[in-house]
Copies of this chain bind each other. A is one copy, B any other.
Amino acid sequence: MHRVPLQQKILQENERIAGELREAFRQHGVLCLNFIGSPGAGKTTLLERTLEGFPSATRVAVLTGDIQTEIDARRLRRFGFPVRQIATGGTCHLDARMVQQALGEWKMAELELLLIENVGNLICPAAYDLGEAAKIVVMSVAEGEDKPLKYPSIFFKAELLILTKSDLLPHVPFEGEIARDNAHCVHPGLEILQLSCITGAGLPEWQMWLEHRRAALNVRAAAG
């Protein structure tokens, strides 16, 4: 990320398209969530468990970003919901235009939930609004407690921190309380959930978070 005029122009153009996306999501009552985390944080596995838990009539779709490969889209398609891979071909983040283009053929009116898995990177994706209702930062307990302090931007911008791979806690030097303090030092209101996609611990709380968020959207839509 270079703080030069061109970069500002790119970000401004991104804001403009993200604004269009946000308005379209609002009009159609689509809850859009942008999952951001390092490579190996467990984003795809979390989405697998999330899709698996949905009734088959759920109107959910997934966009998954990677520099190369269709690996994640293949993994996520097994659950029968529409999934599209965005291969950025070198770019270190998703931007709003990529999302707009990938959504192209899908009918927004047929969706109620759009899950976007960003490129594995704790830094650059934080700067690019995708029109989402919320950013969710995903971090595994194997990564260490200091990450919120070292990479503050995404922890500041996210609404929710999901600490994944909690089954590894007995085997890694991770102090959950220090991690939480660090996260709240950067972002006092940050919600935090801890879960394991292997044991299933914490998944019900995550599903409840998602339900609350969807219900809140519907209340707002009914009121508007």
Q: A residues near B, CB below 8 A? A: 1-4, 6-7, 10, 38-40, 66-69, 71, 90-92, 119-124, 139-140, 142-144, 146-147, 149-153, 165, 167-168, 171-173, 198
Contacts and interface: CB of A to CB of B under 8 A. Distances in A.
Nearest to A165: B142
16 contacts: A2-B6, A39-B122, A39-B151, A40-B144, A67-B123, A67-B150, A67-B153, A68-B149, A68-B152, A69-B149, A90-B153, A92-B121, A120-B147, A121-B121, A121-B124, A140-B142
A69 B120 CA distance: 22
A65 to B, nearest CB: 10
A184 B205 CA distance: 40
Contacts of A2: 6-7, 10, 91
Dominant secondary structure at the A interface: loop
A94 to B, nearest CB: 13
Nearest to A142: B142
Contacts of A142: 40, 140, 142, 165, 168
Contacts of A6: 2, 4, 6
A66 to B, nearest CB: 5
A146 B69 contact: yes
Nearest to A66: B150
Contact of A123 (B10, B119, B149, B168): B119
B67 A140 contact: no
Contact of A172 (B69, B124, B143, B168): B168
Nearest to A75: B146
A39 B122 CA distance: 8
A39 B151 CA distance: 9
Contacts of A172: 165, 168
A91 B124 CA distance: 9
Contacts of A38: 38-40, 120, 122, 143
